[in-house]
Amino acid sequence: MEKIIFLKYGELSTKKDNRNFFIKKLNENIINSLEGKVDVSYDYGRMFIKPHDDNFEDVIKHLQNIFGIHEIVVAYKDEDKELETIKNNLKSLLQEKTFQTFKVEVKRSDKKYPYDGMMLRKDLGAFILKNIPYLKVDVNNPEITVNVEIRLTEVLYYFESIKGLGGYPVGTQGKGILMLSGGIDSPVAGYLATKRGIKLEALYFESPPHTSEEALNKVKKLAQKLAIYNQDIKLHIINFTEIQEEIYKNMPHEYLITIMRRMMYRIGAIIASRRGAKVLINGESIGQVASQTLTSMSVVNEVVNIPVIRPLCCFDKLEIIDIAKKIDTYETSILPYEDCCTIFVPDHPVINPEKEKAREYENRIDFDEMIYRAIKNEQVIVVKNKNQENDEFADLL
């Protein structure tokens, strides 16, 4: 018998026409993420992964960070499909385990196999009972489920499985631009969008000298956490200082945030179109702050045509924090460095801004020129998956 890992696709296998595309992409993502460490092969129902140096634990850890995998199973494979061999294999595998109760499940994808599933289940159950003393069958709540899969060219044996992340393989839904600040919300929004198969690029607005190098490093660190699920992430860094100072000098203060966010959206949409991204993604959550009331959102949103996805729009803050902790961004997000939004916060931001007013204020100044300059001067860095590279930003914070 050969020890291997196989994956169950879960939701992916329900995608009729796209199924092949989804599975191909998953295969590609796994090969990229585990470069040189595994051999991968697949068919419609299963993907098989053979770790090169039998380092199963390390490979499983990687697989647990890849979207599109429903279950990860460590199995034993034998090409000999004789019933006698199946029994002997089960006996030797089960003797190594300590358990009291079990049930047998048989999956028979080889429809020409001479025995049917029901008969096999009974026969194998009886064989186990006879050969391993003091075991009992418990069909409702067994300690161990003995799974036997009779496939065309082999039999698979397995006893437990590890839950995968689920979702869709990254890239199957194209690309999105995540507006990534240093806060708690936007990394979580990015994670959830990735889960649906969107490959992220990140966009950060900095305002030096009002924002520090540490604030930027914090964003790089957060991008690195998201790169675990994205292979790597392109981080676009836009110098927002000129625009922000002009807004501060010239716009009524209650509209500072509204107009600032309209500028961010405009820049985001231009970068998205240049990068071939289909959506903007951000961490807005309805009602969380003045700039996230439905009215504010619609006044800000009117400046772009591209769809804006807000994965957290209906989440409570505590639910968001739970996910942030789970994906290990929380501790970085709560580091105290100032974000460009927090520096220019007015005392009384308007809660129900008006589109006409926002347009009129903006028209007082030629922002187009400044937007053009900001984009022309963007810096782009590629943040690597920390699994592949050393943690290059760890020392910077």
Chain contacts with ligand ATP (rule: CB under 6 A): 179-181, 183-186, 203-205, 282-284, 288-289, 291, 339-341
List the single partner that 291 binds among Mg ion, ligand ATP, none, CB under 5 to 8 Å by kind: ligand ATP
Distance of CA 212 to the CA centre of its chain: 29
Residue 193 neighbours by CB under 8 Å, 6+ apart: 176, 178, 200, 279, 281, 309, 311
Judged by CB under 5 A, which stretch of 41-49, 110-118, 181-189, 221-229 contacts Mg ion?
181-189
Least spacing, CB of residue 168 vs Mg ion, in Å? 28
Based on CB atoms, which residue is closest to ligand ATP, 135 or 320?
Answer: 320
Based on CB atoms, which residue is closest to Mg ion, 339 or 362?
Answer: 339
Among 164, 169, 183, 311, binds Mg ion (CB under 5 A): 183
* Residue with smallest beta-carbon separation from Mg ion: 183
296 belongs to the binding site for Mg ion (CB under 5 A): no
Least spacing, CB of residue 339 vs Mg ion, in Å? 5
* Residue 111 backbone class (left: φ over 0; alpha: ψ -120 to 50; beta: rest): alpha
Based on CB atoms, which residue is closest to ligand ATP, 60 or 289?
Answer: 289
Judged by CB under 5 A, which stretch of 80-88, 124-132, 335-343, 345-353 contacts Mg ion?
335-343
* Residue with smallest beta-carbon separation from ligand ATP: 183
List the single partner that 179 binds among ligand ATP, Mg ion, none, CB under 5 to 8 Å by kind: ligand ATP
For residue 309, which of 267, 285, 331, 279 has the smallest C-alpha distance?
A: 279
Least spacing, CB of residue 214 vs ligand ATP, in Å? 14
List the single partner that 267 binds among Mg ion, ligand ATP, none, CB under 5 to 8 Å by kind: none
Least spacing, CB of residue 238 vs ligand ATP, in Å? 8
- Residue 308 CA to residue 297 CA, distance in Å, equals 10
Based on CB atoms, which residue is closest to ligand ATP, 82 or 208?
Answer: 208
List the single partner that 194 binds among Mg ion, ligand ATP, none, CB under 5 to 8 Å by kind: none
Based on CB atoms, which residue is closest to ligand ATP, 149 or 339?
Answer: 339
Based on CB atoms, which residue is closest to ligand ATP, 171 or 183?
Answer: 183
Least spacing, CB of residue 127 vs ligand ATP, in Å? 58
- Residue 49 CA to residue 122 CA, distance in Å, equals 31
Among 147, 181, 194, 258, binds Mg ion (CB under 5 A): 181
Whether residue 350 contacts residue 255, with contact meaning beta carbons closer than 8 Å, is answered with yes
List the single partner that 282 binds among ligand ATP, Mg ion, none, CB under 5 to 8 Å by kind: ligand ATP
**Which structure tokens are listed for 269?**
């949409």
301 belongs to the binding site for Mg ion (CB under 5 A): no
Least spacing, CB of residue 359 vs Mg ion, in Å? 25
List the single partner that 329 binds among Mg ion, ligand ATP, none, CB under 5 to 8 Å by kind: none
User: What residues make contact with Mg ion under the rule CB under 5 A?
Assistant: 181, 183, 339
